[in-house]
Structure formats: C-alpha cells, structure tokens
Amino acid sequence: MNSFTSFLQDYLNFFDTSTGVFLFILFYALWITCLLPGLWPSMLAGALYGSFFGTIFVFMGAFIGAELTFYLSRKYFRDWSQRRIANFPRFQIIKKALSKEGLKLIILTRLSPVFPFSILNLFYGLSEVTFLDYSIGITAILPGTILYCGLGSLAGDIANFDTVLSNKDDTTSLFFSLLGVVATFAVIWIASKAAQKALQEFESPR
C-alpha cells in the first residue's frame, strides 16, 4: 500500500512540472479531437491544478483541440462528419441561420448545454463560418470551464477534508471555492437560459 501511495504521489507531482502541464494540455487537445466529452478531464484539471490554473490549462487544450477538429473536419472528413452530425437535427437549423448571424450564433451555441462542444467543432468545420468567428466563439466556453474546474478543485478539497479542517486558511479557501462554484453555476444557468431562448427564435418558423 505504501509503495502504491508513493507511486501515486510521484505521479501527481509529475503533473505539477512544466513537462506534466504540457502533456496534460496535449492530452486534453487530443481528447477533444477524438470527440470525447470534456467534463471529466476538466474536473481532473481542477483537482490537479486548482480552479484558476486548471481553467487556463483546460482552455488551452480545448482551444487547440477545437482548432484541430475544425481544420480536419473542413479539409478531410466532410463526408464522415456529415453522417455524425445527422444524429443532431438541431444542427441543421443552426446551419441555415449561420450565414446571417455568424459570431452571435456561435457564442449562443457554445453557451447552451444542448450542443456538445466536440460535435460543435465538427459542425462548424462543415459550415461556412469564418475561421476568425469560430476562434473568437470558442471563448464562450470559459464559464463552463471555470465551473468544471471549480468542481474538480472542490472535490479534491473534500477528499482531503480532514486536512482542510485542521487549517483555518484552508477552511476559508474551501468556503470561497464552494461559494465560487455556486456563483459560477448561477451565472451559467442564467446564460444558458438566455441562450436557449435566443436559439428558439432561430428554430421557430419565420
């Protein structure tokens, strides 16, 4: 048991090094490119690096992965991507509105939990959206990224709850982490509701 604990500690310490951070960002980028959901690695980043640095590293990985998916989708995998996106009828509606709304619609779909992040990357690669609008629109994932990393950081604190309780500063930090997660969740809930309402206008016949 002691050897396993030592191995696990060395493993975690490795991710605190510059090489470990680089590999985590690379791993996250490849994870997104493979169309896998980012929830769990985002929470892992929060547990490993804390909510602030976790958010930075996740966003970097997500941005790289999103750009790579966009490029591959637009250049090489158009037919395969079309079949994949056919499982999401709402994308067809959004595709028709993109030519008029552009960046606004990209941001709304990024804010809405209805549209999976990885599938959106494929979808926009198939559409006529400009690379600039697409890249700017990726920033709209920041509220969700902050939330998931905050949850991961909070989970890490709870896992070491006895240690946290023994230190007043750590207890205060835990309280503010919890408060930050609740506040972020409230902001995301309000933003997603507003996004859903705006997107319904595009779905409604005109």
Place of tokens 């028709």: 96
Distance from C-alpha of 44 to C-alpha of 39, rounded to nearest angstrom: 9
> Which residues touch 148 (CB under 8 Å, ≥6 apart)?
38, 39, 42, 43, 46, 58
Q: Quote the mean pLDDT of the chain.
A: 76
Which of 43-47, 94-98, 150-154 tops mean pLDDT? 43-47
| pTM of the full structure | 0.74
> Which residues touch 75 (CB under 8 Å, ≥6 apart)?
none
Q: Are 24 and 45 in contact (CB under 8 A)?
A: yes
Tell me the per-residue pLDDT of 148-199, one tens digit each, with 9 for 90 and over. 888 888 776 554 444 444 444 455 555 545 565 565 666 567 666 766 666 6
Distance from C-alpha of 147 to C-alpha of 94, rounded to nearest angstrom: 26
Structure tokens at 36: 């896998």
Helix (H) or strand (E) run with residue 3 in it: helix 2-14
Distance from C-alpha of 132 to C-alpha of 14, rounded to nearest angstrom: 36
Q: Which of 105, 96, 92, 95 is nearest to 137 (CA)?
A: 105
Structure tokens at 166: 């023994």
Tell me the per-residue pLDDT of 127-139, one tens digit each, with 9 for 90 and over. 878 899 999 999 9
pLDDT at residue 95 is higher than 80? no
